[in-house]
């Protein structure tokens, strides 16, 4: 998007710091945070999502390794019960974070 217009306004130090803090928590710069807020777009901050993403990546790596071994003919039958349980736990974690 081409941002060719500039909009300036004044606010108190307290309000500025409050907006800056909210922008940092949302992992957005001040312009993106203020624009998103002013356009009534929802800003969702989910704490703890990094750990869940790491778990999902680990599960994905495990599945990729199993697929490679299967394609090489080194394994024939894969038991994915434990992987399904991990995935279920991660999914439950995502639901819990979204409900907060």
Q: Return d(Cα 34, Cα 40) in angstroms, integer.
A: 10
Residue 49 near residue 97 (C-beta atoms within 8 A): yes
Its pTM surpasses 0.95: no
Average pLDDT in the chain = 86
Average pLDDT of the residues in 16-27: 93
Interval 25-59: pLDDT, tens: 888 999 999 999 999 998 877 777 788 888 888 88
Q: Return d(Cα 97, Cα 100) in angstroms, integer.
A: 6
Between 41 and 90, the more confident residue is 41
Nearest CA among 25, 81, 85, 94 for reference residue 53: 94
Residue 28 near residue 36 (C-beta atoms within 8 A): yes
């Amino acid at each position: 998007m081409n941002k060719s217009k500039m909009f300036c306004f004044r606010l108190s130090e307290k309000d500025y710091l409050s907006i800056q803090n909210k922008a940092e928590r949302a992992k957005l710069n001040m312009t993106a945070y203020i624009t998103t807020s002013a356009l009534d777009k929802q800003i969702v901050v989910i704490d703890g999502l990094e750990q869940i993403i790491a778990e999902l990546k680990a599960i994905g790596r495990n599945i990729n390794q199993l697929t490679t071994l299967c394609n090489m003919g080194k394994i024939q039958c894969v038991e994915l019960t434990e992987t399904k349980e991990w995935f279920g736990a991660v999914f439950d974690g995502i639901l819990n974070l979204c409900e907060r």
